[in-house]
């Protein structure tokens, strides 16, 4: 009698532990799914921008468009622009106010080094006749 009661209690304890463990696992999976969805949405939202970083920025042109609508850099930080033109015709990368003018040969990569000052919002455009009008305009934000 005494023994069977003890076994019964032991089984109840194991059941409680099992339910708790399963609950924790389900909780972790749900949090993971939520985080994955947030990450996916962030990835989609971030598609048109580049992160603020003092290092190298990859900037592409393709199908008569700049790859990123907004480029963010920090004022005073030296940056290396890796300009990758995927089109079969030439483009240029121009920011008049900062004196940035880089030719982008057809289907080629060029790199250029700049230091962005002062802080502000500037217009990036392609100076090849007709390209700016066709949509080759973007925004450069120099963060203070
Ligand atoms: Cu162009």
Whether 68 and 121 share a structural domain:
yes
Given a contact cutoff of 8 angstroms between Cβ atoms, the answer to whether 135 and 44 are in contact is: no
Rg (CA), the chain: 28
Predicted confidence band of residue 116 (pLDDT cuts 50, 70, 90): confident
Whether 113 and 91 share a structural domain:
yes
Q: What's the gap in Å between 121 CA and the centre of ligand 1?
A: 21
Q: What's the gap in Å between 111 CA and the centre of ligand 1?
A: 17
Domain span at residue 131? 49-143
**Residues 14-23: tens digit of each pLDDT:** 777 657 666 6
Q: What's the gap in Å between 86 CA and the centre of ligand 1?
A: 11
List Cβ neighbours of 70 (8 Å cut-off, separation of 6 or more).
48, 49, 50, 138, 139, 140, 141
Whether 92 and 113 share a structural domain:
yes
Whether 97 and 76 share a structural domain:
yes
Q: What's the gap in Å between 61 CA and the centre of ligand 1?
A: 8
Predicted confidence band of residue 13 (pLDDT cuts 50, 70, 90): confident
Q: What's the gap in Å between 37 CA and the centre of ligand 1?
A: 36
Whether 87 and 17 share a structural domain:
no
pTM of the model: 0.62
Q: What's the gap in Å between 104 CA and the centre of ligand 1?
A: 8
What CATH number is associated with residue 123?
2.60.40.420
**Which residue spans within the chain are E strands per DSSP?**
56-62, 65-66, 70-74, 78-85, 91-95, 100-104, 108-115, 120-125, 137-143
Whether 58 and 26 share a structural domain:
no
Q: What's the gap in Å between 31 CA and the centre of ligand 1?
A: 45
**Residues 37-75: tens digit of each pLDDT:** 554 444 443 344 444 455 899 999 999 999 999 999 999
Ramachandran angles phi, psi of 129, nearest 5°:
-50, 130
What is the total residue count of the chain?
144
């Amino acid at each position: 009698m005494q023994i069977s009661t003890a076994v019964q209690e032991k089984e109840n304890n194991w059941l409680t532990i099992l339910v708790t463990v399963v609950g924790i696992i389900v909780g972790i999976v749900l949090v993971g799914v939520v985080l994955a969805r947030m990450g996916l949405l962030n990835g989609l939202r971030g598609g048109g921008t580049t992160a603020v970083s003092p290092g190298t920025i990859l900037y592409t042109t393709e199908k008569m468009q700049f790859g990123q609508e907004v480029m963010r850099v920090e004022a005073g930080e030296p940056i290396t622009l890796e300009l990758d033109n995927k089109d079969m015709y030439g483009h240029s990368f121009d920011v008049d106010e900062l004196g940035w003018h880089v030719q982008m040969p057809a289907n080629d990569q060029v790199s250029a080094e700049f230091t962005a000052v002062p802080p502000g919002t500037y217009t990036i455009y392609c100076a090849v006749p007709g390209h700016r009008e066709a949509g080759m305009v973007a925004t450069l934000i120099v963060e203070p």
